[in-house]
Every structure is written in structure tokens, then in C-alpha cells.
A and B are shown apart, each in its own frame.
Chain A
Amino acid sequence: MSSNITPPPRQDVNPVSYQIRDLIYGVAGIFHNDNRLAFLEDRCGRRMKELSIPNLRQYHEVLTRSAQRTNEMHLLLNEITVGETCFFRNQPQLAALQRLVLPSIVASKEKLPYKHLRIWSAGCSTGEEPYTMAMILLEEAQRFLRGFTFEIIATDLNDRSLQRCQEGIYGDYALRNVAPETLRRYFDPVAGTRDYRVRDEVRKLIKFSRVNLLDDARMLFIKSLDVIFCCNVLIYFDGASKKRVIQHFHNNLLPHSYLFLGHAESLFGVNDDFRLVHFPGAMAYIKSPVKR
């Protein structure tokens, strides 16, 4: 796979960077093009400092030959996949979910005996997105979601981010869009700090786990979804990996369910089995039946 994607090396880039870049691509489908190689070298530098390794060549050997190679790849992936996010980040997208998408899903399940709603936050970073969704579901639980059970699956590749999710403790910056009433209802202040911790009633709705979106075996088991949020994750992937992940999403969604992507992301040329839907200030993709 890697030999096909490697362009002629640039003179100003350490050749080992290309090898590490291809290694990461092979493991996680994340591709660093030439203008992101400096970022990759910087993140390798952080790990090299931690391990007291003097050069990239030796670090490449740790990633490929040492007994710790799998663990070290995890740690390197932690360095390169840290997302910048906050609660209630994309308001129009969340309004579309709350005001338009959820009611339409509820209507489609009206006649089902068992009313269950399943949402996946794929690439949940440090947890702000799935916790926000959980709060929205709790807000609607006594209104149009009355009688529904719901669960949120939140996954990320980054162990360190997932640990932050589990802790559920956030500072001013992450909480900047949270209304005072929401803060009172769903958070508790952490003694001796200015931080807040997400309450258990919110936390218990979410199952956090580490998932590599290119891991076909894992992806097969995340089924029967009503909504997937995968925001600002696919930007790390090249075309082939993106197609593979989106095909998984298509397989995992129930018919007529919704896929939300990040603001600048499009499925044009990636997958034809979704239809683009415009909401006020937001877009999503709806799973349409596969054309025969």
C-alpha cells in the first residue's frame, strides 16, 4: 500500500519521516501529506524526547522492530490525533439534530414495539461531543423521546483522549459555550479547582472505547445506528481510507439514518450511497438505499 502513495522525497525532509508516515498510514489510515510532515516530525520529536532517542532513524526502529512497537505506535497516535473541541461546539448542527433529525427518527419508529435510539460519536476526542449529545437526549427525554431508551457509543483512536473522556472533568475553555442552566443541571464543580465534572446521569448514557476506524473487525460490530457524528476525523485520511471508513458507516447505519461530518468535509467522490441534506446552517448525509 505504502509504495503507491509515496511521492518523490523532498530534499528538506528527513527520508525516515516518509517511512514513519507510511507506517502510520498502514496502521491507522491517517495520511500526512508533504505539508504536514513537519507536524509529524514534531510529534515524533515529543516521543523521542520522552524515550531519550537521539534521531528519527532510531525511533523508526523502535516503531518497527522493538518489543514495544505496538505500544509505541499507540503512543505516537496519541500525539498526532489530539482534537481541539468544546461542548456545544457546532450549534447549527446540534440544533438540526435536536429540532429536525431526532423528531424524524422518532416518527419513523412510532410503530416499533421497542423504541431505542443509538448514536455514535466516531472520533470523540476528549468527550465534549458525546457528552453534549447525551445532554440533548436528556433534555428531550421527557418530551418527544418519552418512551425511548438511548445509548451513545463514543470512540477514538487516542488512549489519552479516552482517559479524559472517562474522567469527565473540564475547564473554562471546554465549557465556554455551556449555558449556566445546563452547567447547573449536568455538571458538578470539582472542589478546589475551577473545573466541572459531568454528572453520572449523563456519563452512564455513553460507552467509551478505543476504535481504529480502519479496523474492519471492530467496525462490523457497531451496528444499527440512527446517527453517526464523525467530525473533523476524515481530514486525516487519504481517499482510499476515507472510502473504506464511509462504507463501514453506510453498513452500520439503519436505513434513512444520518451521518454528520465536520464543517469542511464532503462525501463527493467518496461514496454515492448517501444523499446530502441541508438543514438551517448545517448539512448531513442521509443513508439512501443502495442502487442496484
Chain B
Amino acid sequence: MTALSLTELHHRVETLHGLPSLPAILFPVLNQLSANTDDIDLQKTVQLVSHDGALSSQVLHMANSPLFGMRQRVNSLRGAALTLGVHRLRDIVTSCCLMQVSPRSSEVNAPALWEHSLACALISRNLARKLGYADPERAYLAGLIHDLGLLVNMILIPKEYTAAYKKAAATHRSLREVELEEMGLSHEITGDLLCTHWQLFDYLSEVMRRHHDVEKATLDPMLTALVNIADLLCRTGGLGYGFTEDLVVTLEEEPAWRIIGEHSPRVKYLDIACFTMEIEAYVNEVRSLVSILFNL
């Protein structure tokens, strides 16, 4: 590695010095939309979002994407909120807020990270529904944030991370494997630190920390396992990190699949090949949506 000493690198990561903050609007909106359904004031939520012009525009674009199941085009935030409902609006606002943190100019293909994260969120939710996981919206959020540690690396240790990214892309290897090799730490560690810094829920922190090491998840093992499987499906399905990995995956032999099997008898009835083909329908939509959101 690296001009940066390992100690210095760890220090920079641990202090998260230089990391942009989340858009101030995210937590009030999340609080609004996490209240009991009867107490939610959609009008207030719409007002909160509309204070941020860029965010409003992103939310509208996303709301009109077929990925979120909108049957007719909406032209206003209020229309989107009424048509989509509380859960979808929360997913969309969260996705847009997080995307705003991303560096716009980077050698490491930041849009690809968001294509991966958004696809992973959609697949985690879809898989959660098919397998009877109690909270599919939680699965969406977990899928969306699972790789935020990569974003931390991109921003805080750009030189070292870029070198690792380029090496992984050139050799078609797993990014995590090369991160560990080149930097001595991987994105799960930095993601976990970010979760603490942003005071996100413990179950999200667990997903960040354990999505490549699912057998160590204890709070919500099925959630971490769902995200692990969604991550693998994205990376084999053309929605990885912007390069092709030489990845060969037999899902039935993955520890995450066993964990899912222990929690959901429905797994036996899932036609994985058919599910994978459904996902393929996302690829172009996700790419075009992220491209629009990045260029707004």
C-alpha cells in the first residue's frame, strides 16, 4: 500500500474527519414518516422536502420511475406522496438524501455504487416480500445503506481507495478482498463507524458490519442474510461496482441462504432462476434513474 500509514489511515477513518453531513432534512422527514400511520402529516412532509429544490426534483424523478410501481405520472410532491403512500415516499426520500452525500467527481465510479445500492435495496425488499420477512421496508433501507462504507472510503481515503478500486477492476476481483489487501480494512468497518456517527439503528449497523460475514449477525440475521443474497445477485447481474467480477455463486451453498432457510420455509418455493430474470428487468431502469439523479 499506500503513502498513508496504517495508523494514520485508521485515525482518519475513525474520526470521520471531512465526511459531509447528511442533508438536514433527512431525520425530520424520517421521524415524520416513521410515526403511526394515523399521525403522519403528509402535508408537513411535503413541505419539508420542498424546502430543498434539488431533493424535490430527485424525489419526483424517482417517484415516476417504474421501479417504484407508479401507474401514472405525477407532477408534484404532494401527488407523489398521495399516490405512493408513506412507505415508498420514505424509501425515496432516504435514497435521494443519501445520494446527495456522494462525491460528484471521482475516479471510482460513484454512480455505479448508487446503482448497486439502489438495486440491492429493491431486490432486498422484493426478496423479503417473497420470503415473508416481516418488514420489507426495513430490507429496502438495509439494502440501500449496506455499502455506505465504500462512500466513506471514497471521501476520506480517496487515494488509497482509488488504488484498491482500480486494482479490483483490472483483475476482476472482489472489491472487499482487494480493500483488505491494499488498505488493511474494508468497507464494513468504515460503514459501521458511519452508522455510529450518524446514530443509525443498530440493525442497520449490523447489516453494514456483517453483510459479508452473515453468520456473525445476531440482532436480525435474516435481514443481513437477505442483503447478502441481494448483494450477490446484483454483482452477478450487472449491477456491481462498475466492473465485472469473476464471481461464481451457488446461492444454495451460501451461509446466507442457510440462514434464510432457517427463518423462512418459503425459500423452498422460490424459483431462483426466475427471480434472477425478474431482477434483470431492473438493470436498465436503475442505471437510467441513477444517471438522471446524478445529473440533476
Contact = CB atoms under 8 A, between A and B. Distances in A.
Of the candidates A279, A280, A286, the one having the most CB atoms from chain B within 10 angstroms of its own CB is A280
Contacts of A281: 236-238, 244
A90 interface: no
Interface stretch (A25-33, A45-53, A63-71, A261-269): A261-269
A100 B248 contact: yes
A269 B273 CA distance: 11
Given A100-B248, A275-B252, A280-B244, A266 B236 contact: no
Contacts of B276: 278, 283
A100 B246 CA distance: 7
B249 A277 contact: yes
A269 B246 contact: no
B170 to A, nearest CB: 15
A276 interface: yes
Given A268-B271, A268-B272, A269-B271, A277 B277 contact: no
A266 B252 contact: no
Interface in A246-268: 263-268
A278 B251 contact: yes
B35 to A, nearest CB: 40
Interface residues of A, number: 19
A99 interface: yes
Contacts of B249: 277-278
Contacts of A263: 277
Interface in B206-264: 232-233, 235-238, 244-253
Contact of B250 (A100, A269, A276): A276
Nearest to B270: A268
A267 B252 CA distance: 14
B174 to A, nearest CB: 12
B3 interface: no
B281 to A, nearest CB: 12
A264 B250 contact: no
Interface in A113-141: none
A279 B248 contact: yes
B274 interface: yes
B238 A277 contact: no
Given A280-B236, A280-B245, A286 B250 contact: yes
B246 to A, nearest CB: 6
Nearest to B236: A278
Interface of A: 99-100, 104, 263-269, 275-281, 283, 286
12 contacts: A266-B273, A266-B274, A268-B272, A276-B273, A277-B249, A278-B236, A278-B247, A278-B249, A280-B246, A281-B236, A281-B237, A286-B250
